[in-house]
Amino acid sequence: MELVARAYDTGRPIWLRLQDGRVAEARTMPEERHAGALPWVAPGLVDIQVNGYGGQEFSSLDLTPERVAEIARQHDAWGVTAFCPTLTTQSFACLAHGLGAIARACESDREVQRLVWGIHLEGPYFCPEDGPRGAHPREHCRRPDWDEFLRLQEAAGGRIRILTMSPEFEEAPAFISRAAAAGVVVALGHMGATAEQIRAAVDAGARLSTHLGNGAHRMLPRHPNYLWDQLAEDRLLASLIVDGHHLPPEVVKVFVRAKTPERLVLVSDLSGLAGLPPGRYTSSGCEVEILDDGRLVLAGQQQLLAGASRPLGMGVINVMRYAGVDLATAIAMASARPACLLGRRCGGLRPGDPAELVLFDLRENPPEFSVRATIAGGRVVAGSLPAYQPL
């Protein structure tokens, strides 16, 4: 397979030949040979926080391997070539069921196996206070329990790769140490922790702050507070939801400057209600609303968000708009950075790189990350390649 597009990192036209699932050849081309508008080409995006789609949560007793496969394949259309199904706080029975359904889907469907790079368990070991717990049901927020986690990992077939938890529990450091030693990326979130508790968690092996700036109290002390503590902790990466709803542009700009792009990961945090029309719904035991502007909020509380409804590409274009980073930096935050966190290698444009690519257009007004084609394993899995004159 051959294609010509505009390289995301140089802005120059590039010719690529793909073979056996990898980039076999890559050549920069003269600008004048392709005066028409070429799409951009970049590594496929990697989304480590996806709660569901189209009316189906992964944290659900109704989840089936078939529904997992439907949600997984939807990612091809968004230019996402790998993702982490994310289960949020629920009963043990519900979590075990959802994890088992995802495991069976991976075992029986090669396309799901290709797309799913691991499972993200967001909870249930969370602070039960209003504010920090967000839309996570209070009745299912509980203290860390290592035996329970092992049973959940067994249900998942060993696929839990990220665990987000609160660090303020007395047993948290020991739990984090055991999870990190088992190869799980421990992330901090939905908490009201002190600086000392955050430091102890990081000393024990925590590596990530989940959706920094969200899942927090509505009112915080000017200083100290846990947002400053996490921003200042260089050992922590942080994920950000830059969908235009979760964080104001000024906050995104400050976070990017303080944390630096090298320590930031973009996530979508897609809700199971993403893709549905505006209205009132029940999700994970909570009453939520999709507003006309696309925001997903707790019913009757329009300032309390309950997940996101926009794919990861929107975060790419928004972080460029809000923080002034270039396209190469924004793409790295949504591809190489999350891949590295998971110990994986994403796609690329150099010979030998995996042929996991997205061809797309960027539009500023209204902002849009418009996918023309997604390539996985060296084959087109969504859209179509633009026509071009071969060399």
∠ CA 331-334-338, nearest 5°, is 130
Q: Could you give phi then psi for residue 312, rounded to 5 degrees?
A: -65, -30
Domain boundaries, the chain: 2-42+348-383, 45-341
- At 80-97, the pLDDT tens digits run 999 999 999 999 999 999
Find residue 46's DSSP bridge partners: 82
| Least confident span in 253-262, 277-286, 355-364 | 277-286
Residue corresponding to tokens 């959802």:
98
- Is the pLDDT at 391 greater than 60? The verdict is no
Note if the bond before 132 is cis, omega within 30 degrees. no
What is the structure's pLDDT at 259?
98
- The answer for residues whose C-beta is within 8 angstroms of residue 20's C-beta and 6 or more apart is 378
What does the CA dihedral 129, 142, 101, 215 come to, rounded to 10 degrees?
A: 20
Which pLDDT band, with edges at 50, 70 and 90, does 388 fall under? low
Given the residues 20, 269, 292, 293, select the one marked as catalytic: 269
Task: Please indicate whether residue 127 or residue 263 has the higher confidence score (pLDDT).
Answer: 263
pTM above 0.75, yes or no: yes
- Is the pLDDT at 313 greater than 80? The verdict is yes
Q: Specify the CATH number of the domain 2-42+348-383.
A: 2.30.40.10
- Is the pLDDT at 389 greater than 60? The verdict is no
- At 170-209, the pLDDT tens digits run 999 999 999 999 999 999 999 999 999 999 999 999 999 9
Thinking of the domain 45-341, which architecture would CATH place it in? Answer: Alpha-Beta Barrel (3.20)
Task: Assess whether the region 2-42+348-383 and the region 45-341 belong to the same CATH fold.
Answer: no
Q: How many Cβ atoms are within 10 Å of 185's Cβ, its own excluded?
A: 23
| Least confident span in 108-112, 180-184, 277-281, 334-338 | 277-281
Contact call for residues 162 and 116 (beta carbons, < 8 A): no
Q: Does residue 353 carry a catalytic annotation?
A: no
